[in-house]
Amino acid sequence: MKNIILFSITTFLLIGCKQEFNEECESLARVNEQTEKNINTYKMAWDTFFETRDSNAINTDSFDEQVTVVTATGNITGIDSFREYYNNYLTGFSDAEFNFIDIIAQGDKLVKHWNFKGTHDGVMFGIPATNKKVDISGTTLVLMKDGKVLQEQDYFDNHSFLMQLGLLE
For 28-38, give one letter per residue: b (16+ CB within 10 A) or e: eeeeeebbeeb
Convert the pLDDT of each residue in 22-63 to its tens digit: 666 565 556 588 899 999 999 999 999 999 999 999 999 999
101 touches 137 (CB < 8 A): yes
Burial class (CB in 10 A: 0-12, 13-18, 19+), 19: exposed
Give the whole-angstrom CA distance, residue 30 versus residue 42.
18
Burial class (CB in 10 A: 0-12, 13-18, 19+), 115: middle
Domain CATH code at residue 9: 3.10.450.50
Give the whole-angstrom CA distance, residue 166 versus residue 56.
31
Structural domain boundaries enclosing 19:
2-164
What's the pLDDT at 155? 97
How confident is the prediction for the chain on average, in pLDDT? 90
Give, for 97, the enclosing helix (H) or strand (E).
strand 97-106
Q: What's the pTM? A: 0.81
Give the whole-angstrom CA distance, residue 38 versus residue 169.
40
At residue 1, does pLDDT exceed 90? no
| Domain assignment of residue 36, yes or no | yes
β-pair partners for 124: 127
92 touches 67 (CB < 8 A): no
Q: How many domains does the chain have?
A: 1
Higher-pLDDT residue of 110, 28:
110
DSSP 94: T
39 touches 110 (CB < 8 A): yes
What's the pLDDT at 169? 83
| Domain assignment of residue 145, yes or no | yes
| Domain assignment of residue 24, yes or no | yes
| Domain assignment of residue 169, yes or no | no
